[in-house]
Amino acid sequence: MYVIVGLGNPGRQYQHTRHNVGFDAIDILSDKLSIRVDKIKYKAVIGEGNYKGEKIMLVKPQTYMNLSGESVMKICNYYNLKMENLIVIYDDIDTDFGKLRIRKKGSAGTHNGMRNIIYLLQKDDFPRVRIGIGKPERGDLKDFVLRRFGKEESDIISDCLERAAQSVLSIIEEGADKAMNQFNG
């Protein structure tokens, strides 16, 4: 079983903001895999299905970003999930805009949602797909990540989200190392 978690904030006001690209990637995977993400369970909205013989759970935590680990921990504990079968997709200001960075493990960096997940799981050895959302030249970081993408950014981020969804499928099919070689950069 693979659990694919996209990080974001619940609520219409946060839809399609920089901080919600994890949710957007889950929506793309939902379409690709024909998995409806509409059940409320584990403090999340989830959908379950299959992909190439593997059971898949798509997850959008509904706890707000800084408490994302509550949902992830409940799922991991319930299914006694192997860490290599947990894939987290999230926004990253430290990755160049429109680029992907896949890692098999590591720190949370500046991302509070990932910090909470790592803190509650007491593990950091799970694959993650970081989506580069850019960095503010000046001003408040919170305002920046809660902003929607501009017209000139929309095509680039749409392509990046598509590649993020493909990279998750690659991790499932071929493993994180091959996905890293194919999608990083």
Residues assigned a catalytic role: 19
Question: How far, in whole angstroms, is CA 127 from its chain's centroid?
Answer: 10
Given a contact cutoff of 8 angstroms between Cβ atoms, the answer to whether 59 and 41 are in contact is no
Phi and psi at 45, nearest 5°, equal -100, 125
- The tokens for 137 are 């030249």
Q: Which residues of 45-61 are buried (b: 16+ CB within 10 A; e: fewer)?
A: bbbbbebeeeebbbbbb
- The 10 Å Cβ neighbour count of residue 15 is 14
Q: Which residue has the tokens 């992909």?
A: 51
